[in-house]
């Protein structure tokens, strides 16, 4: 699975936002949310019968 973006369409230097506004706590909360969503996806994937892969 890949999620590529054409970052040159978003910003000139491929960076977005002010990194000086980041904090350890913001990073921790972000990581917890992302890991939770990815984990949920893998659980759903593991529980999906093979014959159900291509059904909406």
pLDDT digits (tens, 9 = 90+) for 5-51: 777 777 776 666 778 889 999 999 999 999 999 999 999 989 888 88
Residue 4 is given by DSSP the state -
Indicate the pTM of the whole model: 0.57
* Number of structural domains in the chain: 1
Q: Is the pLDDT of residue 52 over 70?
A: no
3-state helix, strand, coil in the chain (%, to 5): 60, 0, 40
Q: Looking at residue 14, what is its pLDDT?
A: 62
Domain that holds residue 44: 22-50
Q: Is residue 33 part of a domain?
A: yes
* Residue whose tokens read 């529980």: 47
Strand, helix or coil for residue 3: coil
Q: Is residue 37 part of a domain?
A: yes
Q: Is residue 12 part of a domain?
A: no
d(CA 15, CA 7): 8
Q: Is residue 15 part of a domain?
A: no
């Amino acid at each position: 699975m890949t999620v590529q973006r054409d970052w040159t369409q978003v910003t000139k230097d491929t960076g977005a936002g002010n990194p000086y506004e980041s904090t350890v706590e913001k990073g921790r909360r972000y990581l917890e949310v992302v890991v939770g969503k990815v984990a949920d996806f893998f659980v759903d994937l593991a529980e999906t019968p093979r014959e159900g892969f291509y059904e909406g």
